[in-house]
Each structure stands twice: as structure tokens, then as C-alpha cells.
Amino acid sequence: MREQELIVYRGFEDGQLLYDMTWLMEHYQDEYYNKEDMAALLYECIHGLIDLAGNYGFYGNLWHCYLTNLLVNNENSYSKACEIRGKVPGTINQAALHDIEIFKEFYDYDFEPMAEYLGVKAMALILDYETNQQESKVYNTRICARICELAKRFTEDGSPEEMKKTLTRFYKEYGVGKFGLHKSFRVVRDEEGVRIEPILNIAHVKLSDLVGYEIAKKKLVDNTEAFVEGRKANNCLLFGDAGTGKSSSIKGIANEYYDRGLRIIEIYKHQFQDLNEVISQIKNRNYKFIIYMDDLSFEDFEIEYKYLKAVIEGGLEKKPENVLIYATSNRRHLVRERFSDKEERVDDLHKGDTVQEKLSLVSRFGVTIYFGSPDKKEFQNIVKVLAERHGVNMPEEELLLEANKWEISHGGLSGRTAQQFIDYLLGKEV
């Protein structure tokens, strides 16, 4: 087979299985090699594909799913040019088509003669595999289904040209690699350096799930819409009381704008020294990235906020157009201030500069959105809406009475407290 002739699609992360299978396609009838060894290699490949199905959640023709997974994850000059944008002009199309022609041969290969010649009846297992519906260790159910559907679509394409169009359309709709297939990410530093890793199970929250806060949500949506559409947008700070939906709003943004190329990268303040490296890895991609900092605040002895200030605005290198910073905090002023900062101090000749140093961080968020605790009436409305949404059957008077008792002993008036109360009621149902 012609895997060595690939031009654009090379350097596959899980490529050994491809090389073993294509080697068998080429040599399984070669009398120079021991037939039992060839059968053993084929069994090893079958094991690899079934193991892949267990880790990734694949089903159907596992060979096709494996090949499809290679194509949708290979970040190369063609796939990265097409991500979110779709087809592009230039000679790169001819190079990509050359490789797709080779992959079409892999897709269309008939394994029956090989399996019969080597006496491997188990080959049939991987050609129509039924999953056990176990949660994937690599992909969530949505991503897994898209890859399996794409694999089936490739088999329906009658030519390499059609297959290339199908793949390019996938790149436009979902992107390529980890940034294409996942919504949200975390930052990890190890011996290999700074890496951006997918978060597999993000809560499926929508902004409409957050009861109330219509003005706050509109302000957040307007800024995010402008960013996604390529217009000018601002870094955004969501501040206010605990449990009022600040973090849920960010999750809602991640879910609702994923299909328009928005991705969320969560980072903690002890990782701020890695911000420049993170930005260098994402600045030339076609996605829009929000770097998300949850529950952001600093004690007066913590200096990590200075890294953040430099990245947001003030460093020599301009922040990329495809990157914004969204943060949530219970504090309006992110760095703790003390009365002593405003008092005369013999050890600080320029006390005004000290105060301005601390206030300058929040001023670099162009949009600030306040989320305040609901009053009693608003809290009761949240309880009623959530109860109806979750199918809680209880007379309204009793529901509100129990909700009032609950909030007194469970953190006070907030959307979080209301949700916890509803979860409590649901947990009591038999």
C-alpha cells in the first residue's frame, strides 16, 4: 500500500496501527514471511481496533472509524487552513487530494481475502462492531457520534474528490484536532512543557437555563457576539455575589457559540506565568479563544496579577485578535485593598501609586457585568421556574415555604441555593 507516499497527512499520533495494517495489505501473501506471524500481527491489529473502540466509543466499521479519526485530528497545512473557513485556493488542494486518493484505497480495501488466507475469522468483529455504550475516555458522546457518522459518509463517497469535499466541509463546521472537536480546555505544565488539554465533560448549560439576570446576560452576549463575528470586543469581568450564575454564564457561552468557532481555555492564577506560552499556541488558529479565569482575586501579597496585566494590555507584543479574557470574581476590585493603602505610610513615598497599581488590573477589563443576589421575590420566582422545569409536583405555597426554610440554613438568597433546594426535592422522590 502507499502510506509512504502521503504528502500532507503525515506524523499521525496513533499511526502505528495504520502502518501495520497497510503492511499486511501489501505482504500477507508473501511467502517470504511466516504465515503464523502474519496472522498474529493481524490479531494484534484487531486487538488495537477493539481497544480503540473501548477508549474512544467507536462503533460500526472500526477500521473506517480509525482512519476517520486520523483525518480529523491531523493538524497540517491543509486542515488548519480549512478549519472554520472551509475550502481554500492554491496548490495545497492538489497535495491534499493526492493523500485522500490513498486514504480512499484504505477505506475501500476488502479484508475478506486476507482474513480467509490467514485463517483469521475474528476479522468480522471489527467490520460491524456494536458498542457497549460505555463513556468514552477520550471523546464525549457528541464527538464520537460525529466521527462515526463521518466514517460512514466517506464510504458513500464515490470518488476521492467527493471524499475531499466531505472532509473539507467537516473542517469548516467543526475544525481539526483537539481545538476542532472540543469546546473547553485546561492548561497543563509537565516535563514536556505547557500543554492545552481538552476538558471532556463540560456541563451542558445554556444561558436560558439561568433564570433572571436578563440585562447582565445581554451585555455578555453582545460582547461575545461581536468577538465571534470579528468585530471589536472587550475583555470581560463578571463580578458579584456568590452563587448568582457567573460561572454558569461562561459555560453557557461555551456551549452556545461552539459551532461558530468559539473555544474556552480555563487557567488558574498560579499558571499566569504560562499565559504567553498559551497564547503563542493559539494565536494563529482560525478559532476565537476566550481565556477563562474563574473566581479571580488576589491577596495583597500575591503578585501573579502583574503577569495578567502585562498580557491583557501593556506588553510590547499586541494581544492577538482571536483572544479575549473573561474572568469571574466575587470582588469588584480584584486585588485586595486595605485602609492602610490610603493612610500615610513612612515606608511608601508614593502611596497613591500603590493604590493605582492595585486598581489598574480591573480597569483593563473593558466590560464589567454585575451579578447581584436576588431579593426575596426574585428568589421565589427562580424556585418556581426551576421546579416547573424539573417537574417538581408540590403546591406553590408549600414549595415557597420550604424554599424559604432551605435558604436560611443553606447560604442565603441565590440561584445556586435555589438549584440546590430543587435537587434536594428531586433526591427525595422515589
- What is the residue extent of each domain of the chain? 3-181, 198-371, 376-428
Looking up cell 468577538 gives 227
Q: Residue 284 class from Cβ within 10 Å (0-12 exposed, 13-18 middle, 19+ buried)?
A: exposed
pLDDT tens figures, 22-42: 999 999 998 888 999 999 999
Contact call for residues 417 and 243 (beta carbons, < 8 A): yes
* 393 vs 348, higher pLDDT: 393
| Cα four-point dihedral sign 254, 260, 263, 264 | negative
Does residue 397 sit in helix, strand or coil? helix
Q: Average pLDDT for residues 338-354, to the nearest whole number?
A: 49
* 289 vs 353, higher pLDDT: 289
Amino acid 96: pLDDT: 97
DSSP strands (E only) in 273-343? 288-293, 323-329
d(CA 70, CA 179): 15
239 - beta bridge partners?
Answer: 329, 370
d(CA 253, CA 264): 9
pTM score > 0.75 for this model? Answer: yes
Residue 2 has pLDDT above 80, yes or no: no
State the DSSP code for 270: G
State the DSSP code for 372: P
- Residue 69, C-beta contacts closer than 8 angstroms, at least 6 positions apart: 14, 52, 56, 58, 147
Of 158-172, 247-261, 395-409, give the range with the top mean pLDDT. Answer: 158-172
d(CA 147, CA 391): 35
Amino acid 389: pLDDT: 87
* 143 vs 305, higher pLDDT: 143
Q: Which fold has domain 198-371?
A: Rossmann fold (3.40.50)
Phi, psi at residue 220, to the nearest 5°?
Answer: -70, -45
d(CA 360, CA 379): 35
Amino acid 339: pLDDT: 47
d(CA 306, CA 348): 19
pLDDT tens figures, 74-121: 999 999 999 999 999 999 999 999 999 999 999 999 999 999 999 999
Amino acid 279: pLDDT: 92
Contact call for residues 266 and 199 (beta carbons, < 8 A): yes
184-190/262-266 β-pairing: parallel
- Residue 338, C-beta contacts closer than 8 angstroms, at least 6 positions apart: 300
Does residue 186 sit in helix, strand or coil? strand
Amino acid 200: pLDDT: 82
332 - beta bridge partners?
Answer: none
Looking up cell 479519526 gives 69
Q: Average pLDDT for residues 412-419, to the nearest whole number?
A: 88
Amino acid 267: pLDDT: 93
Amino acid 354: pLDDT: 47
- Residue 70, C-beta contacts closer than 8 angstroms, at least 6 positions apart: 9, 12, 14, 15, 18
**Confidence class for position 366, pLDDT limits 50, 70, 90:** confident
Amino acid 64: pLDDT: 97
Residue 247 has pLDDT above 80, yes or no: yes
On average, the pLDDT of the chain sits at 87
**Confidence class for position 71, pLDDT limits 50, 70, 90:** very high
Counting every residue written for the chain, the total comes to 430
Amino acid 159: pLDDT: 96
Contact call for residues 292 and 258 (beta carbons, < 8 A): no
Residue 408 has pLDDT above 70, yes or no: yes
- Smallest CA-to-CA distance from 109 within 18, 43, 36 is with 18
Amino acid 393: pLDDT: 85
Contact call for residues 241 and 280 (beta carbons, < 8 A): no
